[in-house]
């Protein structure tokens, strides 16, 4: 997980932002909002020409959009060539591991006191308070502090 944290920090430093939308813009990743089935919050893929695209559920709140965009950006950077369909078709891949890594990447972008205004300064708050105040899922906040 240290490599994921290092990657997130390197990207934030290079582009001087931890906003996943700003980072996507800087990296040429298109982000679209569509009316998706309720159980689908977002997904990412690469076109036949290799262009990366993130699709987010259009009904998400602002906080959910930020988190989901950061999570999908994590998938694009950490798991190139994989998407949900590929993972489900290949039984030897560990989907929970990939989801956990994407969550950790999102947490590294969104919960760090040294980053810009998109980041959450968390000292002296509890993990539960951070989750409540930020709107981030508790499992993501917990994951950030475990590593």
More confident residue, 106 or 136: 106
User: Which pLDDT band, with edges at 50, 70 and 90, does 88 fall under?
Assistant: very low
Decide if pLDDT at 120 tops 70. Answer: no
* Nearby residues of 141 by Cβ (< 8 Å), 6 or more positions away: 107, 111, 127, 130, 131, 134
* pLDDT at residue 127, rounded to an integer: 82
- Report the run of H or E that residue 45 belongs to, with start and end: strand 42-46
CATH number assigned to the domain covering 2-146: 1.10.10.2910
């Amino acid at each position: 997980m240290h490599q994921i944290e290092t990657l997130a920090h390197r990207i934030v430093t290079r582009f001087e932002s931890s906003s996943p939308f700003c980072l996507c813009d800087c990296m040429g990743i298109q982000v679209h909002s569509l009316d998706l089935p309720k159980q689908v919050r977002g997904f990412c893929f690469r076109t036949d020409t290799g262009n990366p695209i993130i699709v987010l559920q259009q009904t998400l709140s602002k906080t959910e959009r930020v988190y989901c965009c950061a999570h999908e950006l994590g998938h694009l950077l950490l798991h190139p060539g994989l998407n949900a369909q590929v993972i489900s078709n290949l039984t030897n891949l560990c989907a929970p591991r990939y989801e956990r890594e994407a969550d950790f990447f999102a947490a590294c972008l969104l919960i760090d006191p040294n980053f810009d205004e998109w980041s959450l300064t968390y000292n002296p708050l509890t993990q539960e308070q951070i989750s409540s105040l930020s709107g981030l899922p508790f499992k993501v906040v917990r994951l950030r502090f475990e590593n």
